[in-house]
Amino acid sequence: MNMISKFFFCCLLIGSFVFGQDILSNDDDYNKKKSEELASLAVSYFKKNDLKKSTELLFKAKEYAEKTEDYGLIARMNGSIAHQYVQLNLNDKARFYLANAIKQINKLPESDNKKLLKTLSYLEIGNIDFDQQDYPKAIEYYKRSLREIELVKNPDEQAVYHHRRSLYNIGNTYYYLKNDSAEIYLNKALAIKNNYNKEIDYFIYNALSQVYSGRKEYQRAIDTLKIILKNKNDLDKRLLSDIYYNISQDYKSLGNQSEYSLYNEEFIKLNKSTKENEMKAISSAINAEQKDYKEAISDADSSKKNIVIISSIFVLILAVAIIYLLYRRKKERKVFENVIHKFEVENIIKQEDSPESIEVIKKDLPSQTPNPVERELLEKLEKFENSEKFTNPKLTISSLALQLKTNTSYLSEVINKYKGKNFNTYINELRIAYICEKIYNNKEYQSYKISYLAEESGFASHSSFATVFRNITGISPSVFIREASKKFSSKDL
């Protein structure tokens, strides 16, 4: 799923709790209140990326909602549970709960609220189809959402925003279908003026730039992206990273090497922002002490004692900063060695040809004996792991299920049961292990840019690669490269 889809899924979840509040505002019924309280709490956990707790709360909220006859409330709880399943890549279950939501929505009397809820449901289904690269089906549901939202008689700011979303999603999907209508719908979305969540303008311009690039109108694409950069201080860093990357590629296509290098460097810099912020914090403290030290010198003609004290403080801070940096380096080196040891152990296990290899790999999981169907699927997964097919950036659970001749729900269940992780984590760990092995054993990989390593291992963007790499290994790609380079140098001696 690309970053833009994630952004709008989040909007849908939060938005689904907003629409329909007028239905419950004067209702003191305990079950309705309890359902709303649990749903609001679920949103808080969702924002913290605690999907497990969020999902548990939503199911409890659904139980309370179903004790009422408030169809809108029941629909919203089903729709939000569907959203959670989308995050877990269980699209079949997501569709089931979306179908339940639509059944409840259809029981509502005709109103703007009913049309808004239908709009949100169709957008969610369209996003599932888009994520599975079924673009014609996605277009069908996006157009249904557009028809519903255009029937709203008294649209508020949020309704206008979802109108723009529908137009944007249609245009963005037409781009992937290489359909000339993409530009028409994107311009329609851009033409609607709305002050609510203006960030959507940036996504529309970004999609338009891709349309122009596809037509080899590279300068026009660049000009469009530069409109967004006028507001770069307001941009999400992930979106800004994508924009820098797209501009660099457009300049590359034009043969403008200097501008390509400029924007490519900006793209790379974003990955280092966390590390730089840490160093800036230390630097700021030292600079502050230096300033105090200089001011003290100018005022300390009559008191050498003050100079000694301030100098001591400054030296102490420098010492603490140096110790901290040395400690962090040592800690990073230890993490690196643990990562290498883990990959080496796993590699030894994978090289064994014994029939029990599947059970050995799962030794840290609860004792389970696969049935014949599960064993066959696990053997197919083992072959998949030994290939490099997981580096395909377009790989989804649906496409892998098709390759392995099974369905997405069963594949997800087996991966969770025998691998101890969800599909996304499973694929990401394979990719990170693959690129770590390349970096560790091939000196030339240690000089490659992070963006190239991200592409090589199957990640759609530099920023997502860096985030996943750190989450899995505990260190950043640049630290891993630094430590691998040291190890490589020691081998040569």
Q: Is the pLDDT of residue 87 over 90?
A: no
Radius of gyration over every alpha carbon of the chain, rounded to an integer in angstroms: 27
The whole-number average pLDDT for the span 120-141 is 91
Place of tokens 């029941």: 74
Distance of CA 218 to the CA centre of its chain: 28
pLDDT for position 191: 92
Residues 89, 407: Cα–Cα separation, whole Å: 12
**Token reading at 483:** 């430590």
**Bigger pLDDT: 278 vs 476:** 476
Three-state DSSP at 68 gives coil
Q: Taking the alpha carbons of 202, 204, 210, 215 in that order, is the dihedral positive or negative?
A: negative
Q: Which residue has the higher pLDDT, 154 or 23?
A: 154
Type of residue at 230: K
Nearest to 236 by CA among 210, 262, 206, 261: 206
Work out the average pLDDT over 453-459. 91
* Residue closest to 148 by CA, chosen among 124, 180, 131, 128: 124
- Average pLDDT in the 393-419 region? 90
DSSP state of 109: P
Q: What is the pLDDT of residue 306?
A: 64
Q: Token pair for residue 308?
A: 């000694």
Q: Residue 420: left (phi > 0), alpha (psi -120 to 50), or beta?
A: left
Q: Which of 196, 269, 287 is nearest to 232 (CA)?
A: 269
Q: In whole angstroms, what is the distance from residue 61 CA to residue 81 CA?
A: 10
179 Rama sector, left if φ>0, alpha if ψ -120 to 50, beta otherwise: beta
Query: Measured between alpha carbons, how far is 243 from 225 in angstroms, rounded to an integer?
Result: 7
The per-residue pLDDT for 383 is: 92
For 370-386, what is the mean pLDDT? 89
Which has the closest alpha carbon to 431: 448, 410, 450, 455?
Answer: 455
Confidence at 294, pLDDT banded by 50, 70, 90: low
Q: Residue 274's CB: how many other CB atoms inside 10 A?
A: 12
What is the reported pLDDT for 329? 74
* Angstrom distance (rounded) from CA 12 to CA 123: 8
**Global pTM value:** 0.49
Residue owning tokens 């009559």: 302
What pLDDT does residue 298 have?
A: 53
Rounded mean pLDDT of the chain?
79
Give the whole-angstrom CA distance, residue 478 versus residue 268.
11
Higher pLDDT pick, 357 / 119: 119
Q: Is 493 exposed, middle or buried (0-12, 13-18, 19+ CB in 10 A)?
A: exposed
Which two structure tokens, joined as six digits, stand for 423? 């599909």
Which pLDDT tens digit goes with each residue over 29-72?
788 989 999 988 988 887 676 777 888 898 999 999 999 889 88
Element (H or E) spanning 359, and its range? helix 357-361
Quick one: average pLDDT of 449-457? Answer: 90
pLDDT, position 47: 67
